[in-house]
Structure 1
């Protein structure tokens, strides 16, 4: 079975998640929207298969997930690993950034995203 993007069944969930974005997701979105990072378009709360990811860049097949405290339990780690493995099977890169990094060191978070974008574009990061 192929991979489906933005399945109709998840439309209401995606809409709700956009309305209820975490503080860190809102902060990061301010830097991702309007092609601010290397001209790449990002979408927020994008459906990939049976999952909804925080941010997705279709040009690079790059997912960005902002992980907060709800991802700290052993059960959550296992669920995240399973989900990530399933997404990566479709040649999609998953970049995870801690909620605290986005909230307290946004420049480090943006540089992490920029480095991954440049790597996927096959360009070396500038010094």
Structure 2
């Protein structure tokens, strides 16, 4: 898939987003969550993350009712393993959580940021 095709696909996904995604985007956009920049429908390998923060290597996924079907659960599992193998952390929420308790999402971002910041850097090699 070309870069333009990926951009067009991401744009289409953003334009057809549901209420839970739009509300979550209003919480995350423009650095509203502690200054962390998120992108919507961000391409990672062959996947599109609902929301991704490159600085934290964090993906937020929202799951609607279709994600309760067995085959979708299995696909989501493999997709998450692939994304995590690329060095990202994936946190999932249901649409109901995003709409009813949106603070769970921002709290999860903040918790992840604290964990990332508390990991010590590897020692520098002596020359």
Please give the TM-score of this superposition, normalised by the length of structure 2.
Answer: 0.85
Unaligned residue ranges in structure 2 (runs of 5+):
120-127
**Equivalent in the alignment of 1:10:** 6
- Give, in whole Å, the separation in 2 of the partners of 1:82 and 1:101: 23
- Give, in whole Å, the separation in 1 of the partners of 2:64 and 2:44: 21
Find the partner of 2:63 among 56, 61, 67: 67
Bigger-Rg structure (1/2): 2
Deviating beyond 6 angstroms after TM superposition, the runs of 4 or more aligned structure 1 residues are none
Are 1:37 and 2:57 counterparts?
Answer: no
Alignment deviations for residues 88-107 of structure 1 (CA, whole Å, 9 cap, x no partner) = 11111111111101111112
Are 1:58 and 2:54 counterparts?
Answer: yes
Alignment deviations for residues 21-43 of structure 1 (CA, whole Å, 9 cap, x no partner) = 11101001111011111211000
Find the partner of 1:83 among 79, 83, 91: 79
Q: Give me the CA root mean square deviation.
A: 1.7
Deviation, 1:8, is: 3.6
- Give, in whole Å, the separation in 2 of the partners of 1:82 and 1:25: 22
- Give, in whole Å, the separation in 2 of the partners of 1:42 and 1:118: 17
State how many pairs are aligned.
118
- Give, in whole Å, the separation in 2 of the partners of 1:119 and 1:38: 15
Deviation, 1:7, is: 4.1
SS in 2 for 1:66: strand
